Amino acid sequence: MTTIGFIGLGIMGRPMAANLIAAGFDVVAYNRSPAALEAHVDKGGRRADDIAGAVRDADVVITMLPDSPDVIQVLTGPAGVFSHARSGSLIIDFSTIKPEVSVELADEGRRKGFRVLDAPVSGGEQGAIEGALSIMVGGDPADFAAAGDVFNALGKTIVHVGPSGSGQTVKAANQLIVAGTLELVAEALVFLQAHQVDTDAAVKVLSGGLAGSTVLTRKAAAMLAHDFRPGFRIELHDKDLGIVTEAARRAGVALPLGAVVAQLVGAVKAQGGGALDHSALFGLVEQLSGRTPTED
């Protein structure tokens, strides 16, 4: 049985770890929140008291963390993975971080005898629960092949997109598209409501045409119900759009619409909505339109 050290049992990490357990892996997890560890044990996993305990005997180490500094600390810190995992271990970072940080971590990992992949995911909490994530992987092709059983337990669309850092670059593009689509779906729904259109019927027909998208299918009903319980938090999407705009600036690429959406996401966060789902862009469009949630 392959042993996996899993670090980071957040909204995405919890169901991912559960799917690995269901697939027959021995999953030893570490998380700062004891409640998440207890839920992990209830699913059949094992718990560790620290990072060293999670990775010491692991064949594969997985990290699923919020931001670049978190991944740097967990991998390279004195109590981290590179100091305590077995040489030759396969390390897969599913976090969404800066591409250049992934490159630096992969280089450092290789120098220390590890195989490192950056493998950010798309699909949100529901995709993680269903084991239907889209996984974009950067790193050595042989390491990508070696991780096949792990990826297959977590996702349905699994693609090696290039060398280290490439997974993060593709994920940045993904977050740009998702944010833009969320904003346009929100604007369309407010537009429909203002004209007293049956929004459920409208969403049904729009989903079947060229305007159809996973964002429209999964997020429209929650927007209309003002159900902004986090599947993916505004504060994380704000972080991701910062990665996009910084990378675009370095490459000399113009993202005029992306820059506007980044500002709108940042506005929701600034108004105290950082912990809400990114579909809370709908509320901002209502606010800008002078409409209240009770208006039809």
Q: What DSSP line would sit under 184-245, residue for residue? A: HHHHHHHHHHHTT--HHHHHHHHHTSTT--HHHHHHHHHHHTT----SSBHHHHHHHHHHHH
CA 144 and chain centroid, separation:
19
pLDDT digits (tens, 9 = 90+) for 59-117: 999 999 999 999 999 999 999 999 999 999 999 999 999 999 999 999 999 999 999 99
List the catalytic residue out of 43, 98, 156, 171. Answer: 171
pLDDT digits (tens, 9 = 90+) for 98-109: 999 999 999 999
Domain boundaries, the chain: 3-163, 170-288
Which CATH code fits 170-288?
A: 1.10.1040.10
| pLDDT at residue 292 in the model | 78
Query: What does the mean pLDDT of the chain come to?
Result: 96
| pLDDT at residue 294 in the model | 56
| pLDDT at residue 242 in the model | 97
Q: Which long-range contacts (CB under 8 A, 24 or more apart) does 80-85 make?
A: 80/51, 81/5, 81/7, 81/51, 81/55, 82/108, 82/109, 82/112, 82/114, 83/52, 84/51, 84/52, 84/55, 84/56, 85/5, 85/55, 85/56, 85/58, 85/61, 85/114
Q: Does the pLDDT at position 1 exceed 80?
A: no
Structure tokens of 159?
């693609």
Q: Which residue has the higher pLDDT, 292 or 287?
A: 287
171 catalytic residue (yes or no): yes
Percent of the chain's residues with pLDDT above 90: 97
Considering only the top CATH level, what class is 3-163?
Answer: alpha beta
Q: Does the pLDDT at position 295 exceed 70?
A: no
| pLDDT at residue 293 in the model | 74
pLDDT digits (tens, 9 = 90+) for 130-159: 999 999 999 999 999 999 999 999 999 999
pLDDT digits (tens, 9 = 90+) for 228-280: 999 899 999 999 999 999 999 999 999 999 999 999 999 999 999 999 999 99
pLDDT digits (tens, 9 = 90+) for 16-41: 999 999 999 999 999 998 999 999 99
